Amino acid sequence: MDDGGAPGRLLIIGGAEDRCCGAGLLERFAELCGGERARIVLVTTATGQPDQVRADYEQVFRKLGVQRLAELRMHGRADADSDEAAATLAGATGVFFSGGDQSRLRTLVGSRSAEVLRQRLACGLVVAGTSAGATALGYTMILGGNGAEVSAAAVRTGPGLGLVPKSLIDMHFGERGRLPRLLSAVALDPGNLGIGIDENTGILVEGTLFEVLGSGVVTVVDAEDATVVHAAGDCDPITLFGVQLHLLPAGCLFDFATRTPAIGPGHDRY
């Protein structure tokens, strides 16, 4: 893979991706990284079971022809700022953030490793994240929250790695009924685009466009021109008028610059 000048890509997965040999999303990631010539770095910072996670992904990537796989655990800020982490990321053609607890990934925000990722992404690196690793890639990271109401108390957020600008990414979206959580997050910061990704589903971001891949649906919440009235208390419902909601199955496209969806050429319309 030539990563000397072409802009990179991001593959952002809603979690629970198929890990069988030939599985669509991971196979696409391996191909983008260079196939048999890929050099993939697996970032296991988010998980509490790094050995098991490494073994699982090592098995599937080996079956997909990838022979060079390194791991970064980065337990704290010192690790994220280290020469070792920077050198490992600098030598990769692809970086994959595992799932787990996204709060553990806050240690990377503003770090040397994050800066290396941004620089390499501009020159052809492929970055992927699943579940917790997916939400960390946005400008704002969803750290938790639940409930059926749209309110300030329904979501907790913090700064993300910012590899996808002006975005909030949520995962396991349809399976865990997280539309109220995403609406709450977007209502608190309407300038951010809300992107909810179902399991075994991903978005492939190239430039200002993303394409939906996988078996589920991507939900996009756009409140940029909405009317938002915040309640007196955090647990009280937020008033929200004029929100745009888009449901995008596989093959659909979305333009970040114009905030418009489209049916892609490979989409089955019937």
Among all residues, which ones are annotated catalytic?
A: 131, 149, 172
Report CA Rg, the chain.
18
Hey, is 153 helix, strand or coil?
helix
Give residue 255's Cα distance to chain centre: 16
Give the residue ranges of DSSP H helices in the chain: 24-33, 50-63, 77-80, 83-90, 112-121, 132-135, 179-188
Dihedral over alpha carbons 118, 121, 122, 123 (to 10 degrees): 130
Q: How far apart are CA 168 and CA 197, in angstroms?
A: 11
**Residue 155 corresponds to which tokens in the numbers above?**
């979501």
Q: How far apart are CA 36 and CA 64, in angstroms?
A: 8
> E strand or H helix at 13, and its extent?
strand 9-13
Distances in Å between the Cα of 35 and the Cα atoms of 27, 86, 190, 203, 210 are 9, 23, 39, 20, 22
